[in-house]
C-alpha cells in the first residue's frame, strides 16, 4: 500500500510536493483551489509544469485532488447543483493538467428529498462532469451518514455506478466514515465483513483510493470527525487489521488527520501507518498502484 497525505498548496502550488516529501509521503492529495469558494482558479503554465516535474522526480503517485467542500451533487436547487458540477469539473480538469488520477468528491446531502431523487441528481451531475472533462477519474467518497448525506450505504454507491456506467467513475473509501456509518473495523473479522459486503453490493474493483483516518465518532454515530491514527475509536489494532487485508493493501491510502500538533497530516501519522504496513512493505514497490482504466 502506498501511503500519503492531503497537503497544503499555500504559497505556490508546487510547494505541495515539498510538503508531501517532508512528511514521508508516497502519494498525495491536494485542493486545486480554495475548498470554501466557488471561484475557479487558474495558474501560470510554469507553475503547473514545475508541479508536474517535481512530482515525477519525487515519485509521488497517485495524485488526486479533493473537490471543494461546497460541492453538493444531490442539491435539489438547480443553481447550487450547477455550481457544484462546474466546481467539480474544474477540479477534475486541474488534475488532468497535473497528470493526476482524478478528483475525489463527497456526494452531498439530499436536503429533504427522497433517496431515489437524490441518487438520480447525483448520477446526472457526475455524467455532466464526465462530459466536461477528458480523462480524470471521478472518485465518489462514502459518507458517515449524518445530516441526510448520501453515500453511507453501499447501495447508494452501487446505484450511482450502475446509473452512470462509466469506467472513469470509481470509489474512495474513508475509514472514519465507514466506522461512523456502522462498519466495525477494529478486528480482522470486522474488516473482512466490510470488504465482503462491499464486494457483493458494489464490487471491490471500483475502489481506487482509501482515506485512512481514525474516528472521533463512535461506531454507527454518523459523526464525520477525523482523529489521528490510533487515537480514535478504530485504534492501532483496527488499522493493522484493515491494512493487512489482501484486498485493501493493494489500494493507495491518503491521511486527512488533524495532526499531532493540530496543523494537519504529519510524519508521525504516516510513520504509524508505515509501521502497521509491516511485513507487506517489502511487497510495496512490487505491487502496481491501481491505475486509471483505459
Give domain status of residue 293, yes or no: no
pLDDT above 50: residue 287: no
Share of the chain above pLDDT 90, in %: 91
What is the model's pLDDT at position 292? Answer: 53
Is 66 noted as a catalytic residue in this protein? yes
What is the model's pLDDT at position 278? Answer: 78
pLDDT tens column, 209-219 = 999 999 999 99
Q: Which of 14, 224, 227, 266 is catalytic?
A: 224
CA distance 164 to 123: 6
Q: Which of 2, 55, 81, 106 is catalytic?
A: 106
What mean pLDDT is predicted for residues 98-105?
Answer: 98
Q: Which of 2, 19, 168, 226 is catalytic?
A: 226
Give domain status of residue 193, yes or no: yes
pLDDT above 90: residue 272: yes
What burial class does residue 44 get, using C-beta atoms within 10 Å of its C-beta: 0-12 exposed, 13-18 middle, 19+ buried? exposed
Q: Which of 26, 174, 214, 227 is catalytic?
A: 174
Give domain status of residue 291, yes or no: no
Q: Are 108 and 147 in contact (CB under 8 A)?
A: no
- Structural domain harbouring 28: 3-284
Is 80 noted as a catalytic residue in this protein? no
Q: Indicate the pTM of the whole model.
A: 0.94
Give domain status of residue 134, yes or no: yes
Give domain status of residue 9, yes or no: yes
Is 205 noted as a catalytic residue in this protein? no
Give the chain's domain count.
1
pLDDT above 70: residue 112: yes
Q: Which of 36, 78, 262, 294 is catalytic?
A: 36
Cβ neighbour number for residue 29 with a 10 Å cutoff: 27
Give domain status of residue 290, yes or no: no
Give domain status of residue 289, yes or no: no
CA distance 286 to 293: 20
Per-residue pLDDT band at 289 (split at 50, 70, 90): very low
Q: Which of 27, 98, 29, 96 is nearest to 67 (CA)?
A: 29
Q: Which of 19, 177, 186, 272 is catalytic?
A: 177
Per-residue pLDDT band at 290 (split at 50, 70, 90): low
Is 174 noted as a catalytic residue in this protein? yes
Taking every pair of Cα atoms in the chain, the longest distance, rounded to a whole number of angstroms, is 51
Please indicate whether residue 44 or residue 36 has the higher confidence score (pLDDT): 44
CATH of the domain at 60: 3.20.20.150
Give domain status of residue 292, yes or no: no
pLDDT above 80: residue 285: no
- Lowest mean pLDDT, pick from 27-36, 141-150, 270-279: 270-279
What mean pLDDT is predicted for residues 148-171?
Answer: 97
Is 106 noted as a catalytic residue in this protein? yes
Q: Which of 256, 280, 284, 290 is catalytic?
A: 256
What mean pLDDT is predicted for residues 147-171?
Answer: 97
Is 224 noted as a catalytic residue in this protein? yes
Alpha helices (runs of H) in 15-142, residue ranges in sequence order: 15-22, 45-58, 78-97, 115-131
What mean pLDDT is predicted for residues 256-267?
Answer: 97
pLDDT above 80: residue 158: yes
Is 280 noted as a catalytic residue in this protein? no
Amino acid at each position: 500500500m502506498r501511503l500519503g497525505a492531503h497537503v497544503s498548496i499555500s504559497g505556490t502550488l508546487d510547494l505541495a510536493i515539498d510538503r508531501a516529501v517532508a512528511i514521508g509521503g508516497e502519494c498525495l492529495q491536494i485542493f486545486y483551489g480554495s475548498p470554501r469558494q466557488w471561484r475557479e482558479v487558474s495558474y501560470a503554465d510554469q507553475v503547473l509544469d514545475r508541479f508536474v516535474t517535481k512530482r515525477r522526480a519525487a515519485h509521488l503517485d497517485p495524485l488526486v485532488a479533493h473537490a471543494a467542500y461546497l460541492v453538493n451533487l444531490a442539491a435539489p436547487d438547480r443553481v447550487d447543483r450547477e455550481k457544484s458540477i462546474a466546481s467539480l469539473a474544474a477540479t477534475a480538469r486541474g488534475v488532468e493538467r497535473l497528470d493526476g488520477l482524478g478528483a475525489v468528491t463527497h456526494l452531498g446531502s439530499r436536503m429533504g428529498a427522497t433517496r431515489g431523487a437524490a441518487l438520480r441528481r447525483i448520477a446526472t451531475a457526475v455524467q455532466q462532469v464526465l462530459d466536461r472533462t477528458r480523462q480524470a477519474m471521478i472518485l465518489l467518497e462514502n459518507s458517515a451518514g449524518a445530516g441526510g448525506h448520501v453515500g453511507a450505504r453501499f447501495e447508494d454507491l452501487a446505484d450511482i455506478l450502475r446509473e452512470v456506467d462509466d469506467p472513469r467513475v470509481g470509489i474512495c473509501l474513508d475509514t472514519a466514515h465507514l466506522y461512523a456509518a456502522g462498519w466495525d473495523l477494529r478486528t480482522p473479522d470486522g474488516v473482512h465483513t466490510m470488504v465482503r459486503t462491499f464486494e457483493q453490493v458494489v464490487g471491490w474493483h471500483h475502489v481506487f483510493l482509501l482515506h485512512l483516518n481514525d474516528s472521533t465518532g463512535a461506531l454507527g454515530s454518523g459523526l464525520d470527525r477525523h482523529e489521528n491514527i490510533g487515537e480514535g475509536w478504530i485504534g492501532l489494532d483496527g488499522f493493522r487489521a484493515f491494512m493487512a487485508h489482501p484486498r485493501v493493501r493493494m489500494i493507495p491510502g491518503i491521511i486527512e488527520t488533524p495532526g499531532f500538533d493540530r496543523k494537519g497530516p504529519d510524519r508521525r501519522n504516516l510513520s504509524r501507518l508505515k509501521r502497521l504496513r509491516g511485513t507487506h512493505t517489502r511487497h510495496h514497490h512490487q505491487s502496481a498502484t491501481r491505475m486509471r482504466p483505459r
